[in-house]
Amino acid sequence: MTESTLAIEQLELKHCDLFRMSGRIDGSTAPQFEEAMQATTNAGHYKIVLNLAEVSYMSSAALRVLISTSKECRKLKRGDVRLAEVNERIAQVLDLAGLNVLFKIFDSEAEAVDSF
C-alpha cells in the first residue's frame, strides 16, 4: 500500500518565510500543509513563498489551504502567499480552479523571495 507523502522544509528569511515542498498534497497530507501555514501566520509571519517545484500533485484539499492562508496573509495588506517554480501539473490544477490569476507566480525561488 502506498501512502501519500509530503515533505516541507521551512526557511525563515529576512523578508519572508520560504517553504520548499515535495510530494503529493491530497486529502491525507493537506492537514500537514495547513498546520505549517497556520503555525506561520499564528507567529505573525504573513509573507510566504511556496516553492512547488517538487510537488507532483495538489488536490482541492491543498487549494483550500492555499486560499485560506492567502486570505489571512492579505488582510490589512500585511503580506501575501507567492508561488515559485510551479511545474506543468500544478499549473494545470491552479488553472482548473481559476487560481492561476489570483496568485503571483515566479519562475524562480529567488525572484519570489526578492519580490517581498
Partner 1 sequence: MRTRFEEIRLAADLANLGAIDNFVTACCKRWHVNESDSFEIQLASDEAATNIIHHAYEEEEGVVTIRCWVRDGHDFCVELRDSGRPFDPDEIEAPDIKAPLEDRAIGGLGIHMMRKVMDEVSFESGDTGNRLLMVKRSAVP
Q: Which residues bind partner 1 (CB under 8 A)?
A: 1-5, 24, 26-28, 57, 59-61, 63-64, 67-68, 70-71, 74, 89, 92-93, 96-98, 102
- Whole-number minimum distance, CB 115 to partner 1, in Å? 17
CA distance 113 to 88: 21
Nearest by Cα to 49 from 114, 111, 108, 112: 112
Q: Which is nearer to partner 1, 13 or 104 (CB)?
A: 104
Say what the alpha-carbon torsion angle 77, 35, 48, 85 is, to the nearest 10 degrees.
Answer: -140
Least separation in angstroms between residue 13's CB and partner 1 is 24
